[in-house]
Structure 1
């Protein structure tokens, strides 16, 4: 019986690299691939994003980012088999929750944040400490896209 590999996606180049790595690993092991993106409103929503249009839907934007990431990183026949989850909430907690019972959790070393100089991003550091399964943090230089 095969298991499940969960991969965190946020549209950043490191997350696309993690997605590619996770897809190759799933192909090797026969595990299913489960791509997860989460979103949350910033504490100062109105001041961080002035001019946000009426009717803006952050969940729909997250879904679009996930779909575009899968299309960019994977062959269409592979992307079609990926289970997709869009969740409201803290990215760390979402990934920890989604990885319950998984064989593996895969994340990039940095995502979309203002701390580009950090060795590991806060999400990758925290999921490595708290996930209920083994964690792979995909590191390395990524060509800018």
Structure 2
């Protein structure tokens, strides 16, 4: 049995939907499910006081949250092995720690759009930017794991083989069609106010994008001959193209290079945009810098 699938729970409805999704995903992968709740009750009460008083209200709440989540997951998928853990850490630190021994992390999002989304989705964003394993954020309606789904893979200039293989494996597990999408743009000095005929620069850039897409998919496609693949090249900004492609999809897979900026570890604009605006769950797969 492989590494567990880890889902972060906090008692909120978005996190409970993440539990549902993760239970089905674990069943498809044939891996255990681990439910993690980050609690700071020991820091608030003090370790000595906690020992004197026994179980604090915070500890009781934490146990109730993971117990409720575990029962919900078991009802969803009775054959999945489920474990729970309450960690006395900040949510981001706890999830990053759990992700070091996980096949993937699954998180809900409390975003409601606009500024609220930026604030309430901060844990998901921070974990996706720094985790050692793939992070799946339940955007949109939360999606539903199952068969006959549509998996979308965003292929960029430097998308790594690990990202492509992850998408192919997700499609294989679901017997799904993989839609591989590559955005392309003509250089700024070329006219954009009307389509150019075949043979002109626009056609060259589109053809080049198609060739790069084919090269990126070749090895993983050979490893998964049963996966049906549809290839698309679309003119436009990559973030916009992938957000549009996410409509009606069940999972969007993108790669993310981690880089260090003024505010710590960050990832690029495309991953950031789809995490905020995609209409379906988003899998962010880490790739080498």
TM-score tier (shorter): 0.7 to 0.9
Q: Take 2:216 and 2:183, find their aligned partners in 1: how far apart are those partners?
A: 14
Per-residue CA deviations over 1:101-123 (Å, capped at 9, x if unaligned) read: 1100000003xxxx965621110
Q: Take 2:227 and 2:200, find their aligned partners in 1: how far apart are those partners?
A: 29
| 1:3 corresponds to 2:149 | yes
Q: Cα distance 1:133–1:71, how it changes in 2: closer, same or farther (>3 A)? A: same
How far the C-alpha of 1:100 sits from its partner, in A, is 0.7
More helix by share: 2
What SS class does the counterpart of residue 10 from structure 1 fall into?
coil
- Unmatched 5+ residue regions in structure 2? 1-146, 191-198
TM-score by length of 1: 0.77
Aligned residue number for residue 172 of structure 2: 27
- Map 1:1-145 onto structure 2 (within 5 A): 2-14=148-160, 16-44=161-189, 55-56=200-201, 57-75=204-222, 78=225, 81-110=228-257, 117=260, 119-141=266-288
**Contact 2:253 / 2:282 at 8 angstroms: preserved in 1?**
yes
Root-mean-square deviation over aligned CA pairs:
2.7
Q: Take 2:247 and 2:152, find their aligned partners in 1: how far apart are those partners?
A: 9
Aligned residue number for residue 48 of structure 1: none
Question: Larger Rg: 1 or 2?
Answer: 2
Q: Take 1:140 and 1:23, find their aligned partners in 2: how far apart are those partners?
A: 16
What SS class does the counterpart of residue 74 from structure 1 fall into?
helix
Structure 1 residue runs of 4 or more that deviate by more than 6 Å after TM superposition: none
Q: Give the aligned length.
A: 130
Which of the pair has the greater relative contact order for Cα pairs under 8 Å at 6+ separation? 1
Aligned residue number for residue 49 of structure 1: none
What SS class does the counterpart of residue 128 from structure 1 fall into?
helix
